[in-house]
Amino acid sequence: MKRVWVDSDKCLGCKTCELQCAVERGSVSKMLVEAVKEDPKPVARVGVFGPSGSSFPLQCRHCQDAMCLKVCPAGAMQRDTEKGNIAANQDKCRGCWMCVMACPFGCITPSTEYKVALKCDACMHMEEPACVASCPTGALVYGDESSYSKVLTARRGSIAVMAASLTEGKPSGIVSIELLREDR
Amino acid sequence: MHIIIGQGAAGTAAANLLRQMAPLTPVTIITGEQDYFYSRIDLPDIIAGKYEPSASVLQQAEDFVNLGIDCRMGEMVEAISPGDKTVSLKSGKVLRYGKLLLATGSSSVLPAIPGIGAKGVYSLWTMAQARDIAAAAGTAKSVVVVGAGLIGLKTALALAARGLKVTLVEKMASIMPRQLDSEGSGLLAEKVRSCGVEIITGSAMEEIEVSDGAVKGVKVAGRTMPADMVIMALGVRPNTELAAAAGLAVGKGITVNEFQQTSDQDIFAAGDCAEAVDNLSGSQTIQATWPVAVEQGSVAAYNMAGYKTLFGGSVAMNSVEIAGIPLVSVGDVIGQPGDDIFIDRRNGTYRKIVMRGKIARGVICLGDIRQAGVIGGLVLRQMEIENVEKLVSPFFRYADLIAV
Ligand SMILES: Cc1cc2nc3c(=O)[nH]c(=O)nc-3n(C[C@H](O)[C@H](O)[C@H](O)COP(=O)(O)OP(=O)(O)OC[C@H]3O[C@@H](n4cnc5c(N)ncnc54)[C@H](O)[C@@H]3O)c2cc1C
Ligand code: SF4
Ligand code: SF4
């Protein structure tokens, strides 16, 4: 499955990805000059956080054993059968916030105005995710696992965030998500 | 053949997964209800008139057929005999199973008090009950809701939204006593009151006053409140009768091991009817939540299909939006003597983390629930944390965790 991978060494903390995501995926107008005036304010599905010097853009990891998917009681959280990415269907969302409570990465934003869950859908229906396209330093890479290993070998010391999958004989879901700090 | 009793969150998750994991073994799912597989969480909104009942259906009859699941609605299982591996239905039919899953869920607790059987007394667990309440609310004027847990509160607000005069009575000193501390509860109560619900805490209901077989009022702390409708929301108890009668081990709920297997190796149990290990206390509890039901149903299905899978335990957790206030509560939100309490208050939002040494034991996020999953996840996994002050701030993010 294709995901957005992060090379944290390249992240300057400039938040361009956040801005682009909010404009392209969160705003009504899809234009920066208009978007900044919108009320409610457009919400980005990626967030750049962490202390300056080690900032880190984080968006949904599209986990294999996705907690958000399991806990949704409305059938709103769905995995795309072809691409494997997970998206929240806003028509079905009841704003029960189970997914917000369950995502161990804090990648779901509850929209206080519309009472629906907002999350990254990896811009599945676009050529390239908005955040990746906008990053001026190439800290965000879109591709499958192999393209990520390339990033890793190119630059030791990067932090990867991913979720372990459900494997036979191992504890399941509710506690199984391992936070992996790779390559440190 | 695999047989599943109960077509709720646990039973349906198991049936769907069994079709994927063991496509050659037929699956039959039996339920006493008539309304397909629907979300119980929608029921208060259906009462409020926000959605049609059909909007909460997650899987219809044809969806079950398309998945190759033999779905029998409106049939009650009367007995299980583990000796010859059969279940007997009320209709007289007897079905033979290879592996059996008990996903019988729970039922509302109804205390044996005078007047409990009167016309106008309701409880809310099923779609059929929601329909009855919605219909009765069309003519009723005032209602007393007994029990200020999640279901009681949501039902009270739904009826207030329909214009009824609503009084909510709670025996404990505050509302949502299982999920909130007194401060959080106070903040929430204020909002609930502003939606037109009168709240009386610290008082138990004594009796339901009846005239001509119908509810006339409710007696609370010696005072009678007139009401033409009463909603009993005192909590739920697991449906364990079938299991007990079949000689299976039953504690608070049906006893299961980490594979969701009961004391009979071919019978599994999952969801609200089964016990689970609480990761905080290490003791057996029943969490009675949707996510745990789905998870246990899935674990049971893997094991029934022959893939050894463990249920990793759970902690008490719930998320909900009440009177416009989103809230998440995870674990022990009160704490024990010696625990450290971290609190962050700012205009209308409230965040509390209970720490024991370096381990988070409980979290309340009220008003602002962003990142609640990150902090809740720390409680769930009982991981050591440095820098707790940061954790309680609304500006805390997952990135702060890996940066330390
Ligand atoms: C109004 C309301 C709001 C809720 N809100 C939340 C919430 O916000 N968050 C949350 O986590 N949870 C919530 N819950 C609880 C959640 O719905 C339950 O935890 C969940 O439905 C449990 O699923 P289950 O499959 O174990 O049991 P159930 O859903 O109870 O299903 C069991 C089924 O088995 C059937 N059955 C039982 N015995 C027999 C028999 N002998 N023969 C045939 N059929 C039988 C029953 O008829 C029933 O259909 C709420 C519940 C209600 C009612
Ligand atoms: S649990 Fe969080 S990170 Fe994983 S798929 Fe769901 S939203 Fe994305
Ligand atoms: S908030 Fe919406 S998407 Fe999230 S669990 Fe609830 S219904 Fe599903």
CATH code of the domain in which B378 resides: 3.30.390.30
Domain count, chain B: 3
Whether A95 and A161 map to the same domain: the answer is no
Q: What is the DSSP letter of A136?
A: S
Whether A49 and A106 map to the same domain: the answer is yes
Whether A153 and A112 map to the same domain: the answer is no
And the tokens for B62?
């044809």
Kindly state the average pLDDT of the residues B3-27. Answer: 96
Please count the CA atoms within 13 angstroms of the CA of B181 that sit on its side-chain side: 20
Angle at B218 between CA B214 and CA B221, to 5 degrees: 160
Confidence at residue B243, expressed as pLDDT on a 0 to 100 scale: 98
**Ligand 2 near A61 CB (within 6 A):** yes
Q: What is the DSSP letter of A111?
A: -
Burial of A16 per CB tally in 10 Å (0-12, 13-18, 19+): middle
Do the beta carbons of residue A36 and residue A164 sit within 8 Å? no
Taking CB atoms and an 8 Å limit, are B41 and A73 in contact across chains?
yes
Whether A133 and A148 map to the same domain: the answer is no
Which of A37-46, B125-134, B162-171 is predicted with the least confidence, judged by mean pLDDT?
A37-46
Do the beta carbons of residue B296 and residue B306 sit within 8 Å? no
Query: Scanning every residue of chain A, which has its alpha carbon at the shortest distance from the alpha carbon of B59?
Result: A75
Whether A115 and A168 map to the same domain: the answer is no
Kindly state the average pLDDT of the residues B358-386. Answer: 91
State how far the Cα of B274 lies from the Cα of B266, in Å rounded to an integer: 15
Q: Which chain A residues are Cβ-neighbours of B401 within 8 angstroms?
A: 179
Q: Examine residue B319 and state whether it is found in any structural domain, yes or no.
A: no
* Amino acid occupying residue B204: A
Whether A150 and A139 map to the same domain: the answer is no
- Domain final residue pick, B232, B252, B275: B232
State how far the Cα of B140 lies from the Cα of B133, in Å rounded to an integer: 10
Model ipTM over 0.90: yes
**Spatial CA neighbour of B295 closest among B279, B272, B262:** B272
Quote the minimal CA–CA distance from A157 to chain B in Å. Answer: 13
Domain of residue B277 covers 2-107+236-304
Q: Which chain B residues are Cβ-neighbours of A95 within 8 angstroms?
A: 321, 326
CB atoms within 10 A of CB A70: 20
State how far the Cα of A98 lies from the Cα of A116, in Å rounded to an integer: 11
State how far the Cα of A129 lies from the Cα of B199, in Å rounded to an integer: 49
Phi, psi dihedral angles at A66 (to 5 degrees): -75, 120
Whether B135 and B227 map to the same domain: the answer is yes
Higher pLDDT, A179 or B114: B114
Whether B214 and B360 map to the same domain: the answer is no
Confidence at residue A171, expressed as pLDDT on a 0 to 100 scale: 35
Domain count, chain A: 2
Domain of residue A157 covers 144-184
Do the beta carbons of residue B115 and residue B215 sit within 8 Å? yes
For the CA atoms of A20, A24, A26, A32, what is the dihedral angle to 10 degrees?
70
Confidence at residue A48, expressed as pLDDT on a 0 to 100 scale: 84
Instruction: Provide CB contacts within 8 A for A125, sequence distance 6+.
Output: none
A58 and chain B in contact, CB less than 8 A: yes
pTM of the model: 0.91
Which residue in the block uniquely carries the two structure tokens 């599209």? A62
Q: Which chain B residues are Cβ-neighbours of A176 within 8 angstroms?
A: 312
Confidence at residue A34, expressed as pLDDT on a 0 to 100 scale: 77
A75 and chain B in contact, CB less than 8 A: yes
Question: Residue A168's pLDDT band (boundaries 50, 70, 90)?
Answer: very low
Q: What is the mean pLDDT of chain B?
A: 94
CB atoms within 10 A of CB A64: 15
Whether B129 and B218 map to the same domain: the answer is yes
A170 and chain B in contact, CB less than 8 A: yes
Whether A96 and A171 map to the same domain: the answer is no
Phi, psi dihedral angles at B109 (to 5 degrees): -80, 125
Whether A183 and A139 map to the same domain: the answer is no
Q: Which of A70, A100, A106 sits opposite B291 (nearest CB)?
A: A70
Cα separation of the two ends of chain A: 25
Whether A99 and A183 map to the same domain: the answer is no
State how far the Cα of B366 lies from the Cα of B65, in Å rounded to an integer: 42
Question: Residue B11's pLDDT band (boundaries 50, 70, 90)?
Answer: very high
Q: Examine residue B159 and state whether it is found in any structural domain, yes or no.
A: yes
State how far the Cα of B249 lies from the Cα of B221, in Å rounded to an integer: 40
Strand locations in A10-79, DSSP E? 47-49, 56-58, 77-79
Q: Examine residue B314 and state whether it is found in any structural domain, yes or no.
A: no
Kindly state the average pLDDT of the residues B315-339. Answer: 95
Q: Examine residue B312 and state whether it is found in any structural domain, yes or no.
A: no
B400 and chain A in contact, CB less than 8 A: yes
B39 and chain A in contact, CB less than 8 A: yes
Mutating to test ligand 1, I would choose from B33, B237, B290, B294 the residue with most ligand atoms within 8 A of its C-beta, which is B290
- Domain final residue pick, B212, B232, B252: B232
- Ligand number nearest to the C-alpha of A117: 3
Burial of A182 per CB tally in 10 Å (0-12, 13-18, 19+): exposed
Strand locations in A3-124, DSSP E? 3-6, 47-49, 56-58, 77-79, 86-88, 109-110, 117-118
Q: Which chain A residues are Cβ-neighbours of B369 within 8 angstroms?
A: 97, 100-101, 110
Confidence at residue A179, expressed as pLDDT on a 0 to 100 scale: 35
The predicted-structure confidence for B239-252, as pLDDT tens digits, reads as follows 999 999 999 999 99
**Spatial CA neighbour of B260 closest among B59, B4, B66, B1:** B4
Written as one string, the DSSP assignment of B343-357 is EEEETTEEEEEEEET
Q: Examine residue B313 and state whether it is found in any structural domain, yes or no.
A: no
Kindly state the average pLDDT of the residues A122-135. Answer: 89
**Spatial CA neighbour of B34 closest among B130, B165, B99:** B130
Element (H, E) at A21: helix A16-21
Whether A104 and A159 map to the same domain: the answer is no
Question: Residue A150's pLDDT band (boundaries 50, 70, 90)?
Answer: low
